[in-house]
Structure 1
């Protein structure tokens, strides 16, 4: 059977196929910048950290000084009282700042969802701390919580002078918020709460705006009060966003570093009262040049966060009636 193609067309077909084959690597070339950057700044540090957690290494001595010690770093971390102290501080701040964030953000978002005017202005004011530099926030609160010249102590003394009934419930002296070991963790917790409550409010408000109005209209016709509508419509419908927001709070608060570091210094205040695990890992690596132990601390925290995240996932599934 004779070819229907002309000699010229049949001669150009192999060249077209060859040209197409030469371009089959084009997609990989286009994504290669991301792959290279991720390999250098993402995958390599992760693998190197996991490997180094089984070794003893002083970076000043070079890579040739790496000494493999198997599980000794993990044994040291799990028996180190300073690690457990820092972990206790971290859990305290995570709970004291994280739980109130959601207890305040959910009803506040429900209130904002009912506003027709000025909602965006109020929401923007509450969201502003989240996008503000953590260094600037910490420096401002350092001044506010100053013992001798801070505005917080000035307000407390003014309440004692002008409102004695309220003043009786408050300290009658200037509180050293950033040096008193009993007040350091509540102070840091308040700063963290103040910074992230607006972020959670935005998340919950976005979820509430996706709830169909028909549900509320039907509930109103059935005689359901606003409170019952909140408990039986709003909360169940925003449960996926609650899971997302709580998971972010859990992960971020267990890695807390910036606020206590700037407010209290690298040692976490007097008696390391607010030294978080991230701060302890930083000191272990850059103050004591023990990068192997620091990597082991990071992987222990990874396991703790993974377990708690899984537990949080199971908790929300059980609360939703899922298997």
Structure 2
């Protein structure tokens, strides 16, 4: 028998096909570890949570104990007065901590930029340190400072109330000291909000400092020549050009503050203190899921929270999105 004849053109065609196949799918091969991990820990939990929200399930009893209940979990969540109370607490603390973040961060960033590069870098780093510090560690430190019997805040206020030079201003506190900063419902929201503000104001300072650094110095020089003072340069030059950065920072604040969990949880010792005013909806969600082991209701409430955050974010986009993105 004669050996089969080689076909150079066919071999070249096959090689080109293999090469095209490798060129097309090799990048996905390198990305496959990330895609698999993201699919398992990112995408699958979302769809599973949707499925779970329509079931009643105690995880201790295994997957076989799942019972389909339809929209019952959503109905129970929407008619639960505790859910709306925790939602109101979350909104109040989101406003009390979020608004001051930007009211302080904007002028502070402007002052840092005016100080020059060396001072700006040092102060920006100092203000940013609380943001990168562990939230639990920060909350524990403030919990000790807020202590009713041995906290430094009550100790300082007691000294001011007894001082000869400050008693005229703080003397009225003698009747109410020591204050239960994280025990009394009338104070817990302000105490938690201050911790959140202190931790995240530095992050916004960095955002606005970066935004101010992109502004052409010639604009400030031109405004100065036209007779503008520092306040006018800030309001007429800096603020209009910072709209995209303000829009970005406020959007992150809305989303982050509506998910408050660590600070109120640690400061109230897992919700033991100030049950009425100190519990956010994320704390309530955690309690339903991991203390009451009702995963179905917890999943439904998490989707209710998702819709609420989407509504607030959407409203913000609707009213301020065009200006914030630079589209007048």
TM range (shorter): over 0.9
Aligned length: 317
Distance in 2 separating the partners of 1:317 and 1:198: 24
8 Å CA contact 1:87, 1:277 repeated in 2: yes
CA deviation profile, 1:159-212 (whole Å, cap 9, x unmatched): 112211231465652111111111111101111110001111110110011011
Q: Match of 1:280?
A: 284
Give the aligned partner of residue 221 of structure 1: 225
Alignment of 1:14-53 (within 5 A): 14-21=13-20, 23=22, 24-53=24-53
Distance in 1 between the 2:65 and 2:7 partners?
68
Displacement of 1:318 after TM fit? Answer: 6.1
In the other structure, the counterpart of 1:93 is: 93
Is the contact made by 1:52 and 1:292 (CA closer than 8 Å) also made in structure 2? yes
Distance 1:17 1:317 in 2: 49
Query: Partner of 1:4 in structure 2?
Result: none
> Once the 2 structures are TM-superposed, how far is the Cα of residue 42 of structure 1 from its aligned partner?
0.6
Taking only aligned residues, the RMSD between alpha carbons, in angstroms, comes to 1.9
CA contact (8 A) 2:105 2:202 kept: yes
**Alpha-carbon distance, 1:281 to partner:** 0.4
SS at 1:114 equivalent: helix
Q: Secondary structure at the match of 1:289?
A: coil
Partners in 1 of 2:319 and 2:174 — Cα distance?
A: 40
In 2: Cα distance, 1:11 partner to 1:80 partner: 72
Q: Partner residue of 1:3?
A: none
Residue of structure 1 in register with 2:146 after alignment: 145
2:161, 2:172 within 8 Å by CA — same for their partners in 1?
A: no
Secondary structure of the residue aligned to 1:270 is coil
CA distance in 2, matches of 1:228, 1:144: 40
Q: Which residue of 1 aligns with 2:270?
A: 266
Q: How do 1:1-323 and structure 2 match up within 5 A? A: 10=9, 13-21=12-20, 23=22, 24-116=24-116, 117-162=118-163, 163-168=166-171, 170=173, 172=175, 173-267=177-271, 269-317=273-321
Distance 1:241 1:170, change over 3 A: farther
**CA distance in structure 2 between the partners assigned to 1:141 and 1:206 by the alignment:** 29
Deviates more, 1:25-34 or 1:200-209: 25-34
CA contact (8 A) 2:243 2:323 kept: no
**Structure 1 stretches (4+) deviating beyond 6 angstroms?**
none
1:267, distance to aligned residue in structure 2 (A): 2.0
Q: TM-score, normalised by structure 1?
A: 0.93
| Equivalent-residue separation in structure 1 for 2:280 and 2:47 (angstroms) | 24
Structure 2 stretches lacking a partner, 5+ long: 1-5
Change (3 A) 1:268 1:93: farther
